[in-house]
Amino acid sequence: MDGVRFGGQLRALRRRRRWRQKDLAAAARVSRGVVARVEQGRGDRVTVATLERIARQLGARMVCRIDWYGEALDRLLDADHASIVEQVVRILQADGWLCATEVSFSIFGERGSIDILAFHPGERIILVIEVKSTMPDVQATLVTLDRKARLALQIARERGWVGRTVGRLLVIRQSRTARRRVSTHDATFANVLPDRAWAVRRWLQRPSAERPLAGLWFLPGDTQGITRHRVRPITPAVERDEAAGF
């Protein structure tokens, strides 16, 4: 964090409201000395929670980001995302699904991109898959997935895939943090995306239009890291299932 710039921004917002330092301190429930230190560029000595509370009283919000060798961090996250997309596509294709990745759309002013759009010719099912390499904002992710599923039949029809029902699947890179985050919103996920693990895998192998998939699936980002240490022989079919976390 650029403490001097951050302090200057808070000071400008405070003055715009015609507040004194003690007015802001009272609103944020901190001492005037804390406000003074932040405005002097010493915000690194204050907790993030306190900084957020001060900014919120001024109608602002903090946005934290990490920089690492310029754009290298973005490329690293993109690589994780691409790895999971590739893994999901391989599994789907082995089960008879047709797949398209990064499918962009613009329908009635609604624009976006679907990570994986899949079609099962036999059952005429369209499957919308959202892939996240890190645990996303829960509410925003579910709203976005719902919007894409609502438009999926038309999006698929433009590719020549005529479906009769739509399934939805959220795939998240497996980690303790991601699982812990999901567990804190367990009731929400249980209501919106009740299918998990084995139920997801069974449905992908034997999809049913009468009961479209609504699933949440944790997958490891590196399948090689999972299979590398196995010592017992396994068949290709079992290897594929186990690499997918089942």
Predicted confidence (pLDDT) per residue in 47-63, tens digit: 888 999 999 999 988 87
Position 24 confidence tier, pLDDT thresholds 50, 70, 90: very high
Task: In whole angstroms, give the CA distance from residue 223 to residue 245.
Answer: 9
Position 72 confidence tier, pLDDT thresholds 50, 70, 90: low
Question: Does the pLDDT of residue 109 top 50, yes or no?
Answer: yes
In three-state form (DSSP H/G/I as H, E/B as E, the rest C), the secondary structure along the chain is CCHHHHHHHHHHHHHHCCCCHHHHHHHHCCCHHHHHHHHCCCHHHCCHHHHHHHHHHCCCCCCCCCCCCCCHHHHHHHHHHHHHHHHHHHHHHHCCCEEEEEEEEEECCEEEEEEEEEEECCCCEEEEEEEECCCCCHHHHHHHHHHHHHHHHHHHHCCCCCCCEEEEEEEEECCHHHHHHHHHCHHHHHHHCCEEHHHHHHHHHCCCCCCCCEEEEEECCCHHHHHCCCCCCCCHHHHHHHHCCC
Task: In whole angstroms, give the CA distance from residue 155 to residue 152.
Answer: 5
User: What is residue 67's predicted lDDT score, i.e. its pLDDT?
Assistant: 66
Chain segment 111-160, per-residue pLDDT in tens: 889 999 999 999 999 999 999 887 767 888 899 999 999 999 999 999 99
Position 2 confidence tier, pLDDT thresholds 50, 70, 90: confident
For the chain, the C-alpha Rg in angstroms (whole number) is 23
Tokens of 15: 């003055």
User: What is residue 215's predicted lDDT score, i.e. its pLDDT?
Assistant: 97
Question: Does the pLDDT of residue 241 top 80, yes or no?
Answer: no
Chain segment 62-71, per-residue pLDDT in tens: 877 776 655 5
- In the chain, the domains with their CATH numbers are 3-57 (1.10.260.40), 72-243 (3.40.1350)
User: Do the beta carbons of residue 186 and residue 196 sit within 8 Å?
Assistant: no
User: What is residue 111's predicted lDDT score, i.e. its pLDDT?
Assistant: 87
Torsion of CA 19, 20, 24, 26, to 10 degrees: -120
Position 228 confidence tier, pLDDT thresholds 50, 70, 90: very low
Chain segment 159-198, per-residue pLDDT in tens: 999 999 999 999 999 888 888 888 888 999 999 999 999 9
Average pLDDT, stretch 196-211? 95
Q: Which of 123-127, 192-196, 199-203, 229-233 has the lowest mean pLDDT?
A: 229-233
